[in-house]
Amino acid sequence: MILDQFKLDGKVAIVTGAGRGIGQAYAIGLAEAGADVAIVDVIPMDETIAAIQKLGRKAIGIKADLSKGEKEAPKIVAKVVKALKKVDILVNNAGIIRREPFTEHSAKNWNDVISINLSTPFFLSQAVVRQMIKQGKGGKIINIASMLSFQGGILVPGYAASKGGIKSLTMLMANELSKDGICVNAIAPGYIATATDDLKGICVFLAAPASDYMTGYTYACDGGWLAR
């Protein structure tokens, strides 16, 4: 039955930045589809964990400074494997934004944004992929892009560069990892309230067997914004 292709029973997912907002919705959506979930954040994660456990799924919280992705990534994966035995799905959701005109954008703001929005997804994906290859059963990686992966925007040079980079990194990863049965796609959210369920569906779809023939693409979920 086709609906079985959307089930995530027995899968283990990692979702970064899931203590609240869109990341929380992703994590709960994956749990509603049957996955156990590891949440990575620097803020309290109790609310998200409780919501997942209420669904009868396992949930763990991992506090990590994602500005130090190269150092933290292997530790995160090791903790997940120890607690939940494997990793099948990664959602690179955590991100920040700094608003300044191009001519005034500070080195600190540039480096902070690039570190969390682009470098950390690279390092965490790298650590997760090594685990997936070891497991030998493929996997799904979902990066979080933006409307600014397609448009330039204004006053957010670091953010625009990082999200354009995410789109390109998604394609590269898809090209290199398809041989290992790992699908890599990205979601580009439109302008929405962050406490929303609007993006649960696309996240579950890209994590599930239903999307096994889809890799390397950035999916705009924007209410028609890019059609203007």
Residues taking part in catalysis: 159
Find out whether 56 and 29 touch, Cβ atoms under 8 Å.
Answer: no
Q: At what angle do helices 107-114 and 157-177 cross, to 10 degrees?
A: 30
Q: Give the N- to C-terminal CA distance of the chain in Å, as an integer.
A: 37
* Sheet containing 12-16, strands listed edge to edge, beginning at the edge strand earlier in sequence: 59-63, 36-41, 12-16, 89-92, 139-144, 182-189, 218-221
| Alpha-carbon dihedral angle through residues 75, 131, 112, 169, given to the nearest 10 degrees | 180
By DSSP bridging, strand 12-16 and strand 139-144 are: unpaired
Q: At what angle do helices 157-177 and 120-135 cross, to 10 degrees?
A: 20
Strand partners, 89: 13, 140
Residues in the chain: 228
Find out whether 196 and 165 touch, Cβ atoms under 8 Å.
Answer: no
Helix (H) or strand (E) holding 17, with range, is none
